[in-house]
Amino acid sequence: MVYRCGLLTAQKEPVPLKSVEVQLEVRDHVATVVSTLNYENKEDKPLEAVFVFPLPGDAAVCHFSATVGQTQIVAEVKEKQKAREDYDDALSSGQQAFLLEESEQSPDIFSLSVGSLPPGESASIRLEYVIELNVQADSGLRFCLPAVLNPRYQPQGSRDGGSGNIQVTSCPSSLVPYTLSFSAQVSSPRPVSRIESNCSLDPLQYLNSEQTKATIKLAAGHKFDRDVELLIYYKDAHQPTAVVEAGQASAGLGTLMGDPVVMLSLYPEFPEAVMSSVATCGEFVFLLDRSGSMDAPVNHTNRNETRISSARDTLLLLLKSLPMGCYFNIYSFGSSFESIFPKSVEYSQGTMEEALKKVGEMEANLGGTEILKPLEHIFSQPCIPSQPRQLFVFTDGEVGNTKQVIDLVKKNSHAHRCFSFGIGEGASSALINGLAKEGGGHAQFISGSDRMQPKVMQSLRYALYPAVMDISVTWDLPKDVYATVLSPPITSLFQGQRSLIYAGLTGQISEAAEGCVTVKYSLAGHPSQNQLQFNLKPTEDSGLTLHRLASRALIRCLEMEDREPRQQQDESVKKKVVELSVQSGVSSAFTAFIAVNKGNGEAIQGPLVRRNVPAPRMMACGMPAFQSARGMMACRMSAPIGLPVFKSATVKKKGTKLGLIKKSLQGNRREMDASSAGTPPMLLSDVPVPVPSHPPMDPLLRLVALQKASGCWDLSPALATALGKTSEEVETPKPASVNEEVWATILSLIWLHGFKMDVRDEWELLAMKAMSWLRAQDSSCLNECVDAGNALLGCKVEKDSLGL
């Protein structure tokens, strides 16, 4: 089933949210985000406005306040049920109240309730969170402001199907009735070389001559048709760093917020001899989302390339790049799941061809997004001895049981590594990052103008590198100074990828004190280590950002521990989370922010009307509803469940029968939660569509499709066509003593190096396999072949660059 979702627009019902202003402040690898939501009630009755919206899954929400007139009300963190009761009490007393809570199913969905906004009144809501910025393969730091909230598919029979769910109200992105403004300020010890985005930006402005500070704004007229993504590039971004942050004076020593906290950013560097070789074994399991939403475009620059078509092309590259001797299987899922083979099979020419035939027939026609069932089936399959299991998950990430899926991956992490790929706008960062983090793998997001293929092939390289084993972290600190690690243990290391460690520091720390941390591990059977020395002097004016991120990391660890099955219900972990959340002021699954405006004591009069603020939703075809038959179908089916929801209680002055009113309010909440427990009419993501004709194949993929599993090519008319030649032109210059397959393989490699170096990441692994095959042939006239091939194709590729 799908969370309740309807088309509530400005034409259907007034929307009290008028504008959203976002200010981003980036300091090196950490960002602080301040969102201001401006509300105005233009109706003649008091309102309760409810807005369900996405945030990054690993964000630490640390401030929530409301300004009404000249009055600012700062929220406090309370246990969730107590916060809800205080909110209901305030509304039933005729007071203004504001409630911010995290979904119990997914940490990247929040619900904001603005209660008892009087007629003609305005309110400004300030929401602040801090977040780490992930480093991409090209050294860019990625920040994503989620703007699109697609319906989250909630499988039948999933746990906590009632009260834990949050009602999602959304509308097509083209009909969003409020505006977004966005600005960013970036500072770093290293110069800011450039900032890129998937959205139109005003020109970058440097604030100093060293170019270590810069500011940028979203161009005017931005539409809610995509998430806002920034890629920030520093010079020498892959340098290990350590930052020590002073504690909060009012918190007192001996507490997490009172003691200093250090954040270490480590970038392991592995020996070249190890990184130049790739594994020749493994069980590679590919899990592909074929729900209806996968028929949407990958990005806005090429609407003809859908998510499912890009996934098909990517699977072609993956299958051609697998090493001989490995095992593989391909699963696909929607409302049900299926696999190409009953169990993983050995990689060969025959199994590869069978798999590619079925991949070519795959469409986004399997309905919903039931990802849990196929994962359970995959993990139930026995592992193949000496073939480490590598799981690749491709999804647009629109599921409601995120925590349940992540828990399953963690439970089986000892037997596999998980590489995850979030495709398109609205993909759940909590799901994609959680799968990779708990599965010891690597997460990638494909949005904007990104191509899926290079990112996936990078992850395949990670999967083929030797796994890092026996990871440990040791500290060398001055006498009487101690480190307490607050982040979860490091379970995976990849070349050039950052690993973060948070730790609290206790003891007497002098300004000149130095510390050292050593990460030890085993790589390809050899012990290795990386060290980082750092100064223990705290930085100034850091705003407790690191403390909050450390608190968030510790809270997430405890929440995962709380979800592990037990013989008896243990409330101690939940209690720890609540205490830590309240102490640090950081949100959790068990707490909420609550603010009550007691004002002058006069209660707000009149019936309270509920208004659901719609979040922008991408249509599966990437167009507004009225532009396509599919969209019109979605409008007709969604409208009946998107009608206005009214609260029938009459708000009275204090001292009246609050119990009855409170009971009515709580009943409405239970009714709202339960509304998503039944099966609603089928939504857009579930609608089967006619199978479109496939566009002409890309020239690179046309050549790749002809490669054999062993790595070589046949000398065939199809190869000649792929090279842009006739059969006679290709066959005539072949040296007489050379095998046809050797000649065809050399021509293919020359073509790749001569014409496709700009996308080398996509074909490098299959080219390595081809070169290994060539070396095994022990041909004596490779130089002559390379010269003849260059002459035929008009290239100047050196033999050494081919690896021969």
In which band, very low, low, confident or very high, does the pLDDT at 787 lie, cut at 50, 70 and 90?
very high
For 169-197, what is the HEC assignment?
Answer: CEEEHHHCCCEEEEEEEEECCCCEEEEEE
Q: Distance between CA 668 and CA 705 in Å, rounded?
A: 57
**Strands annotated E in 626-723:** 650-651
pLDDT category at 160 given cuts 50, 70, 90 is: very low
Within 10 angstroms of residue 769's Cβ, the number of other Cβ atoms is: 22
* CA pair distance 409, 424, nearest whole angstrom: 23
Position 721 scores a pLDDT of 95
pLDDT at 161 over 60: no
Please tell me the predicted confidence (pLDDT) of residue 493: 82
Confidence of residue 661 (pLDDT cuts 50, 70, 90): very low
The Cα 457–Cα 449 span in angstroms is 17
Residue 157 has pLDDT above 90, yes or no: no
- pLDDT confidence tier of residue 300, bands split at 50, 70 and 90: low
How far is the first Cα of the chain from the last one, in angstroms, to the nearest whole number? 56
Q: Measured between alpha carbons, how far is 417 from 387 in angstroms, rounded to an integer? A: 12
User: Which region among 291-295, 342-346, 545-549, 561-565 has the lowest average model confidence (pLDDT)?
Assistant: 561-565
Return the DSSP state at 600. T
| Cα 801 from chain centroid (whole Å) | 36
DSSP letter for 413, please: G
Checking if the pLDDT of 25 tops 90, the result is: yes
Q: Is 304 left (phi over 0), alpha (psi -120 to 50) or beta?
A: alpha
What gap in Å lies between CA 526 and CA 523, rounded to an integer?
Answer: 5
Single out the residue in 464, 499, 521 at which a domain terminates. Answer: 464
As a whole number of angstroms, the distance between CA 495 and CA 528 comes to 13
Return the minimum-mean-pLDDT range out of 28-37, 337-346, 485-494.
485-494
Range from 46-50, 219-223, 438-442 carrying the lowest mean pLDDT: 219-223
Averaged pLDDT for residues 38-60: 89
Mean pLDDT across 602-620:
71
| pTM across the whole model | 0.81
Last residue of a domain, one of 464, 486, 516: 464
Does pLDDT of 693 surpass 70?
Answer: no
Helix, strand or coil for residue 4? coil
Q: Please report whether residue 451 resides in a domain.
A: yes
Residues 756, 638 within the same domain: no
C-alpha dihedral, 233 to 235 to 238 to 242, nearest 10°: -100
**Per-residue pLDDT tens for 748-759?**
999 999 999 999
- Provide the domain limits for residue 460: 279-464
The Cα–Cα gap between 456 and 445 comes to 10
- State the pLDDT confidence band at 488, using cuts at 50, 70 and 90: confident
The half-sphere exposure of 351 on its side-chain side, counting CA atoms within 13 A, is 19
In angstroms, the CA 127 to CA 123 distance is 13
Nearest to 377 by CA among 366, 391, 387, 396: 391
- What integer pLDDT is reported at residue 630 of this predicted model? 28
**Average pLDDT over every residue of 647-672:** 40
> In this structure, are 664 and 708 located in the same domain?
no
Residue with tokens 């700009």: 758
Query: When comparing pLDDT for 125 and 268, which is higher?
Result: 125
Q: Who wins on pLDDT, 266 or 12?
A: 266
Q: Which pLDDT band, with edges at 50, 70 and 90, does 565 fall under?
A: low
Which of these ranges, 76-90, 291-305, 364-378, has the smallest mean pLDDT?
291-305
Residue 598 pLDDT grade (very low, low, confident, very high; cuts 50, 70, 90): confident
Please, how many CA atoms are within 13 Å of residue 187, restricted to the half-sphere of its CB?
7
Question: Identity (one letter) of the amino acid at 559?
Answer: E
pLDDT mean over 314-330: 94
| Domain shared by 142 and 178, yes or no | yes
DSSP one-letter string for 57-82: TT-EEEEEEEEETTEEEE-EEEEHHH
Run of H or E including 314: helix 307-321
Instruction: Provide the token pair at 740.
Output: 């046809």
Q: Are residues 659 and 728 in the same domain?
A: no
C-beta atoms surrounding 95 within 10 Å:
21
What's the CA gap between 673 and 423, in Å, rounded?
29
Q: How many CA atoms lie within 13 A of 189 on its CB side?
A: 11
* Residue 623 predicted with pLDDT over 80: no
Q: What percent of the chain has pLDDT over 70?
A: 83
Would residue 711 count as lying in a domain?
A: yes
Q: Is residue 274 part of a domain?
A: no
CB 187 within 8 A of CB 208: no
Residue for token digits 């204090």? Answer: 654
pLDDT of 178 higher than 90? no
Question: Which value, to the nearest 10 degrees, does the dihedral of the CA atoms of residues 760, 763, 764, 768 take?
Answer: -150
Distances (CA, A) of 603 to 66, 90, 346, 600, 654: 18, 10, 73, 9, 7
**Inter-residue contact 346 to 323 (CB < 8 Å):** no
715 and 643 in one domain? Answer: no
Q: 245 φ, ψ to 5°?
A: -115, 130
CATH number reported for the structural domain that contains residue 334 in this entry: 3.40.50.410
Residue for token pair 């080219």: 767
Per-residue pLDDT tens over the stretch 3-18: 333 223 334 567 889 9
Q: Count other C-beta atoms under 10 Å from residue 293's C-beta.
A: 30
Burial of 603 (0-12, 13-18, 19+ CB in 10 A): middle
- One domain for residues 665 and 726: no
pLDDT range class, residue 542, cuts 50, 70, 90 = low
Three-state DSSP at 527 gives strand
Strand 134-135 with 141-145, pairing:
antiparallel
709 shares its domain with 677: no
State the average pLDDT over residues 587-606.
82
Q: Which of 422, 441, 464 is the endpoint of a domain?
A: 464
Q: How far is CA 337 from CA 12, 158, 371, 529, 744, in A?
A: 38, 17, 8, 43, 39
Higher pLDDT: 356 or 674? It is 356
> Which residue in the block uniquely carries the two structure tokens 């074909």?
763
Q: How far is CA 367 from CA 295, 372, 640, 685, 780, in A?
A: 11, 15, 21, 7, 56
Rounded Cα–Cα distance for residues 352 and 349 (Å):
5
Mean pLDDT of the chain: 82
pLDDT at residue 672 is higher than 70: no
pLDDT at 340 exceeding the cut of 90: yes
Task: Specify whether 62 is located in the same domain as 198.
Answer: yes
- How many CA atoms within 13 Å lie on the side-chain side of 12? 21
Q: Helix, strand, or coil here: 321?
A: helix
Q: Please state the φ and ψ torsions of residue 376, each to the nearest 5 degrees.
A: -60, -40
User: Within its chain, how far is the Cα of 473 from the centroid?
Assistant: 27
pLDDT over threshold 60, residue 736: yes
Residue (of 754, 802, 797, 745) closest to 773 by Cα position:
745
| Residue at 540 is within a domain | no
Number of domains in the chain: 3
- Whether 133 and 23 map to the same domain: the answer is yes
149 and 55 within one domain: yes
Please calculate the CA angle 24-141-53 and round it to the nearest 5 degrees. 50
From the number of C-beta atoms within 10 Å of its C-beta (0-12, 13-18, 19+), residue 762 rates as buried
Average confidence (pLDDT) over 726-744: 93
Amino acid at residue number 59: A
**SS3 assignment for 695-709:** CCCCHHHHHHCCCCC
Length of the chain: 804
Task: Please check the confidence at residue 541 and state whether its pLDDT lies above 70.
Answer: no
Q: Is residue 617 part of a domain?
A: yes
Does 539 fall in a domain?
A: no
Q: What is the pLDDT of residue 651?
A: 39
Residue 653's pLDDT is 39
CB 259 within 8 A of CB 247: yes
pLDDT of residue 688: 42
* Chain position carrying tokens 């994503």: 144
In a domain, 573, yes or no: no
pLDDT for 746 beyond 90: yes
Q: What is the predicted pLDDT for the residue at 162? A: 37
For residue 546, tell me if it sits in a domain: no
Do 703 and 678 belong together in one domain?
no
Quickly tell me which residue has 């490779």 as its tokens.
782
Average pLDDT, integer, range 337-349: 96
Same structural domain, 357 and 228 = no
- Could you please report the per-residue DSSP string of 263-305? EEEE-----HHHHT---S--EEEEEEE-SGGGGSBSSSS-TTS
